[in-house]
A and B are shown apart, each in its own frame.
Chain A
């Protein structure tokens, strides 16, 4: 006869194994990149222009390009995303329109990143005639990270207890005053989390910037938002597939800088959320 306790042991062993199969490779990826990339990292690598057709020098313009792109994306996406989240959590009634907005957000989150690239090319680069520029790239990335910002902000707003709103309204505050002075301040950590996650996503994506902004090799800093720029993820793609004979160290170094940038932002988001949950008074 089959022993249910032995079956359980076997089953749990396999579940544990499945978890290991995810966790171990992830750990390995991070360790390999750190181990092989660290020797490349130096002040010069981080602040120098790429030289000798990207086979030497540093990655400074790529870092700066990514910072510009990500800042532009968040300047565009945060006001719209936060307002949309406020609409959904505070104003929306349970009707067809709300259902459609939610569905639109789900779809924006699911559209493949390369399709965002096509869209950015057709709308911003060609139709609006912004050309391949930081502006086009930022707007494309901004639309891409909207769902992240909306979903996290909305969760944060909805987790503020109803009694807070009722207390404020009963004191004679208007609906907007209540949102502005009661709901928003209490939701700030959650909104911040969403913003940082959006930044991380925008910093790491390559496909949307391929045709909207990314420059193959541009050893100078962008002068205005209508200039092309290098970007870290695209630079990593270029030196690992398009340019032969790039020293391994430089590739790993670039991968490390990108990885650290993105993981650092996610770590900050996780810590903010953790602290917030611990301190929550309700």
Chain B
């Protein structure tokens, strides 16, 4: 009897392990099922390269190029801000900060990661957006730049904690060897530690960027939501994620617009899948 009970429990445990794979497949299948329905009436090529997103005009146009470029622009801006600051902070925490300060900083970074994106979006709306408007004398502060700055803060916790991990796991002997040869602490960091941790740091950057591309609420609240081709970073833009969040409420279930939003979901899923698999490969390489 006991044996039988344990057999059942162990099968349940295995089943739950497999459930993770099942959920990923299920997510992808359901996106595909709904999203691909769009391409019965609308060409996939038009979808990816069309410059007009007019989902409710007659006939409707579902070109997501402006949305892709909007996402890219915001992400690029966020990357430019968050990568140097994030890696710098990781090096400071891993190598320079005294151990008491280190613990406090790490907890602080964790808290930043925990702030809900809708709260960051709200704070961005009331502080950053007017600031950007006044500094650049714009008609509106709801711009790609505001979005980039806010998103940088969402990428930084990821970048800092994974890069710090990578630096921490570089064998001590590397650094000691460099110091013994007469290198200063900075030279040891710059010439030995950073190159040794490079694949982990690369993974950190990729995962940070992955977080930015998938971010929805903050970006919807502060980038102005204008679905037109972006020309400058000081302009309102709209991202892939914000489009889904903003329009799904109005789309009729089973209609073309509804399917088009799922098709955008497929694009997002594939992007995040690619980023995560590659980042995981880099992290794996470091361990082995």
Q: Considering the complex, give the chain B residue whose CB is closest to the CB of A36.
A: B126
Knowing A110-B275, A211-B249, say if A206 contacts B244 (CB, 8 Å): no
Main secondary structure of the interface of B (DSSP, over half): helix
Q: Which parts of B6-47 form the interface with A (CB within 8 Å)?
A: 6, 9-10, 12-21, 23-24, 26-27, 30-31, 33-34
Is B179's beta carbon under 8 Å from chain A?
no
Q: In the bound complex, do residue B20 and residue A101 qualify as a contact, i.e. CB atoms below 8 Å apart?
A: yes
Q: Considering the complex, give the chain B residue whose CB is closest to the CB of A28.
A: B127
Q: In the bound complex, do residue B269 and residue A233 qualify as a contact, i.e. CB atoms below 8 Å apart?
A: no
Q: In the bound complex, do residue A119 and residue B217 qualify as a contact, i.e. CB atoms below 8 Å apart?
A: no
Besides A106-B277, A110-B276, A119-B265, 19 new A-B residue pairs in contact (Cβ under 8 A), listed by A number: A15-B96, A16-B96, A19-B89, A22-B109, A25-B153, A29-B115, A87-B16, A101-B18, A103-B277, A111-B214, A114-B268, A117-B244, A117-B248, A126-B253, A174-B6, A176-B9, A233-B116, A237-B121, A263-B111
Is B131's beta carbon under 8 Å from chain A?
no
Q: In the bound complex, do residue B20 and residue A105 qualify as a contact, i.e. CB atoms below 8 Å apart?
A: yes
Is B215's beta carbon under 8 Å from chain A?
yes
Q: 9 closest A-B pairs (Cβ-Cβ)? A: A112-B214, A204-B116, A18-B88, A83-B16, A87-B17, A8-B186, A110-B276, A15-B92, A207-B216
Is B110's beta carbon under 8 Å from chain A?
yes
Query: Which A residues lie within 8 Å of B145 (CB)?
Result: none
Q: In the bound complex, do residue A206 and residue B213 qualify as a contact, i.e. CB atoms below 8 Å apart?
A: no
Q: In the bound complex, do residue A8 and residue B185 qualify as a contact, i.e. CB atoms below 8 Å apart?
A: yes
Across the interface, A88 reaches (CB within 8 A) one of B2, B17, B110, namely B17
The residues of B with any CB-CB pair to A shorter than 8 Å are 2, 6, 9-10, 12-21, 23-24, 26-27, 30-31, 33-34, 84-89, 91-93, 96-97, 105, 107-112, 114-123, 125-127, 153, 156, 160, 183-187, 189-190, 207, 210, 213-217, 221, 241, 244-245, 248-249, 253, 261-262, 265, 268-269, 272-273, 275-277, 279-280
A265 to B186, CA, bound (A): 38
Query: Which A residues lie within 8 Å of B31 (CB)?
Result: 115, 118-119, 122
Q: In the bound complex, do residue A114 and residue B241 qualify as a contact, i.e. CB atoms below 8 Å apart?
A: yes
A112 to B156, CA, bound (A): 17
Query: Which A residues lie within 8 Å of B17 (CB)?
Result: 83-84, 87-88, 91-92, 101
Is A240's beta carbon under 8 Å from chain B?
yes
26 A-B pairs with CB atoms under 8 Å apart are A4-B186, A8-B184, A19-B89, A19-B97, A21-B89, A22-B160, A26-B108, A84-B13, A104-B20, A108-B23, A110-B275, A112-B269, A115-B269, A118-B34, A118-B262, A119-B265, A122-B262, A146-B20, A200-B114, A207-B241, A234-B118, A236-B118, A240-B125, A258-B119, A259-B115, A262-B115
